[in-house]
Amino acid sequence: MPDQAQGLRALMTRARGNTAASAVPQETTELPDAAVVYDSRPTTRCHSSSQARVIAVTSGKGGVGKTNFSSNLALALVQAGKRVMVVDADLGLANLHVILGINPPFTLEHVMRGEKNLDETIFTGPLGLKVLAGASGMTELANLDSARRDCFLEQIVDLDRAAEIILLDTGAGVSDNVAAFLSAAREVIVVTTPEPTALTDAYATIKVISRQSSDIDLKLVVNMANNEVEARAVAERLTSISRRFLNIELKSLGYVPNDQTVPKCVRAQYPFLLSSPNSAAALSIVKIAGKLISSDQSDIRGAGLADMLQRMSRFFQRRNAAGDRS
């Protein structure tokens, strides 16, 4: 297996020197006429001795490019040598599979109903990225009887060792279901744009997350920025008010520039990281992936997906108990 650090250095070398956010290089790679069909059959997993690093990606409102960011970030992490799984946890508008150009026939809901094993719901996307759809089934965890819950969690523990990084693409906003995923994860990336409404909603989401749990590592990405100066101003504003009013440290991972390559790739159902690897957006994603990999998360890396589901189960149990009291 190639050295992961070597793979990351190669990716960062490609990204180095591209600091002009407004410059969008010309691409020579042509997009396919239709969505690429990947081998989406369930695959046998390769196990490791450590548990996965679970990272939730969220936003205060829709339309900020959260799912597009999640899918391309997952691919950048794979290119850097990581074993990655992305989970479509957007219960209201699940469209991660559309951006990746795959159509999984089975989802996690089939597992929760006892119709399929977990292995049968994990499908392969571009570059060998693992995709798990139908995370709405996770919200039923608190309603399972103890035998079914233990069986499900046993499969999740097995899955937990199959990936080094698991990305959760959550829904936008602060509904109960979204809050459950966010409070259960140990790391959360909040995606926003420079638009005033997006900033307001991003801060509201950060506020909710900070109140739900005090041990979550919060990170920020500014998407669709016109230039680096604008992106830095947005990041500094959100980190400043979060520190002042919420007493939390919001860590900036960087920004993704406004790039006309992105909507073109969305329409073609093909990730821009693969079709236009030298575009400004793709190079920014590579830099963000590098920051994630190099960040020291030794204190939370061992928590894993099983820990996340246990925390989510407790969230819904508390919510149900509060509903019964009212």
Tens-digit pLDDT string for the chain (326 aa) = 444 334 434 433 443 334 333 333 334 344 444 334 444 445 444 444 467 888 999 999 989 999 999 999 999 999 999 999 998 877 555 678 778 878 778 877 777 777 888 788 888 899 999 998 765 555 565 556 667 666 766 776 666 677 899 898 887 776 776 777 777 788 999 999 999 999 999 999 999 888 877 788 999 999 999 999 999 999 999 999 999 999 999 999 999 999 999 999 988 889 999 999 999 999 999 999 999 999 855 545 546 776 777 777 677 677 667 666 65
CB 186 within 8 A of CB 216: yes
Distance (Å, whole) CA 253 – CA 250: 10
User: What is the spatial order of strands in the sheet that 122-124 belongs to?
Assistant: 122-124, 130-132, 84-89, 165-172, 53-59, 187-192, 217-225, 251-257
Each residue of 204-223: pLDDT tens digit? 999 988 887 778 899 999 99
Distance (Å, whole) CA 59 – CA 192: 6
Planar angle of CA 51, 75, 198, nearest 5 degrees: 95
CB 309 within 8 A of CB 41: no
Domains of the chain and CATH, by start: 54-320 (3.40.50.300)
pLDDT of residue 150: 67
Distance (Å, whole) CA 44 – CA 122: 9
CB 162 within 8 A of CB 174: no
